[in-house]
Amino acid sequence: MFRARNYEIDTLQPIVDQFPKFTPHRLLPGGHLQTITAAVFQGRRFPHQAKLHPVVLDDGDTTILHDDQPTNWSPTSPVAILVHGLAGCGRSSYMTRAAGLLNEAGVRTFRLDFRACGVGENRSRLPYHGGCSGDLLQAMQRVVELCPSAPMNLIAYSIGGNVALKLLGESNRQLPANLDRAVIVSPPIDVAKCVDRLTAAPTRYYDRYLVKLLYKQLRRSPRLVDHAPHIIDAPRPLTQRAFDELYTAPVWGFESADALYNATSSLPFINDIRVPTLLLSSRDDPLVPVEMFEQLKPPAALSVHLTDSGGHLGFIGRGGSDPDRRWMDWRVVDAVTANRAVSRRSAAA
């Protein structure tokens, strides 16, 4: 799995430069409206016909890959592994939309369920967290086994994007040799700052909503509860930090939530990224402060594209530039499918 090769391109910037400008839908002018509307109205639906591949991790827990193979796919055609965000799974709407569009473009997709998520519920004794890069690497290695001759793309959203960026930086010599490029959307690269952001009004709504989903997921999984019996009689946490103090940090062996956040944030690893990578986020994301990206001095391989609006995984735009209003989905497709034969010379031009 040692990576020792040159890339077809050094950077995705030539592709990014061709992106149409995001203009928010006139009824959705702000980050909150973008975020909430995208979560409530899921957009185009695609039939779920995936083949499931369990991936048994080194500690015995299991993740799941949802494999959607287009009829026109060949062993040398591209593949993409998609990684979900907090409280999501392989069937989250942004995951299924991107997979469906990529399938239509001839790209075979593998949507990942992290530990204890989606189809993988009750198959793990430990939960996923924002830095479980080893789990992602093992899932990617399974995709290589299934598609050894296919160029691989890594697409990751929100907390899954933090996991992916951490992996790309910390393990650049262990990554699959056929990993071609990565697209990361709205990643909380400094986890502590993003969690603290949730405590301020009006983002407290998101904090309580997300932790409610996480706590319900925890309590309905007997294996998770059996591994952490102290949660049974403990008061239900009302914030992300309280949830991580009560549950996530101790079951993973961290002394505190802050210790967990410091160990799992991708920010310290970003400068070591060598895979051509696009980081896409918006300036009005209510969950991820844009200052984290504005202060970055990214490596040459990382292209950062910030829009003025779009919210968190929203990006519902006006009609005209794309076949539908989901601007984010089409930029993912562009980054994966466009200019695959761009030379190193043209990339540098």
From 224, 241, 213, select the one nearest 85 (Cα to Cα). 213
Exposure b/e, 188-223, CB count within 10 A at least 16 = b: bbbbbbbbebbeeeebeebbeebbeebbebbeebee
Provide the phi-psi class of 236: left if phi over 0, else alpha when psi is between -120 and 50, else beta: beta
Question: 192 near 258, Cβ under 8 Å?
Answer: yes
pLDDT of 340 reads 57
Instruction: Answer whether the bond into residue 47 is a cis peptide, omega within 30°.
Output: no
Residues 6+ apart with CB under 8 A from 205: none
Pair type for strands 62-68 and 108-113: antiparallel
pLDDT of 188 reads 98
Q: Amino acid letter at 348?
A: A
**What are the structure tokens assigned to 305, written together?**
């594209």
Average pLDDT, the chain: 93
Task: Tell me the CA end-to-end span of the chain in Å, nearest whole number.
Answer: 31
Write down all domains in the chain, each with its CATH number in brackets. Answer: 13-189+269-338 (3.40.50.1820), 191-264 (no CATH)
pLDDT of 296 reads 95
pLDDT of 128 reads 97
Residue 50's SS3 state is coil
Q: How far apart are CA 302 and CA 11, in angstroms?
A: 7
Question: 162 near 130, Cβ under 8 Å?
Answer: yes
Q: How far apart are CA 150 and CA 176, in angstroms?
A: 11
**What are the structure tokens assigned to 257, written together?**
């939530």
Phi/psi of residue 269, nearest 5 degrees: -105, -10
- Residue 231 is classified by DSSP as G
Among residues of the chain, what percentage have pLDDT more than 70?
94
The stretch 188-204 carries a mean pLDDT of: 93
pLDDT tens digit sequence for 259-278: 999 999 999 999 999 999 99
How crowded is residue 41: how many other Cβ atoms within 10 Å of its Cβ?
Answer: 9
The stretch 76-88 carries a mean pLDDT of: 97
What sections of 119-158 are H helices per DSSP?
Answer: 133-146
pLDDT of 196 reads 95
Q: How confident is the model at residue 344 (pLDDT cuts 50, 70, 90)?
A: very low
Q: How far apart are CA 346 and CA 313, in angstroms?
A: 31
Q: How far apart are CA 36 and CA 232, in angstroms?
A: 31
**What are the structure tokens assigned to 224, written together?**
């998770």
Q: How confident is the model at residue 207 (pLDDT cuts 50, 70, 90)?
A: very high
Question: 145 near 75, Cβ under 8 Å?
Answer: no
The stretch 43-48 carries a mean pLDDT of: 82
Q: How far apart are CA 64 and CA 122, in angstroms?
A: 12
pLDDT of 285 reads 98
pTM for the complete prediction?
0.94
pLDDT of 202 reads 86
Q: Taking CA 279 as the corner, what is the angle to CA 276 and CA 280, rounded to the nearest 5 degrees?
A: 140
pLDDT tops 60 at residue 100: yes
pLDDT tens digit sequence for 237-263: 999 999 999 999 999 999 999 999 999
Q: How confident is the model at residue 284 (pLDDT cuts 50, 70, 90)?
A: very high
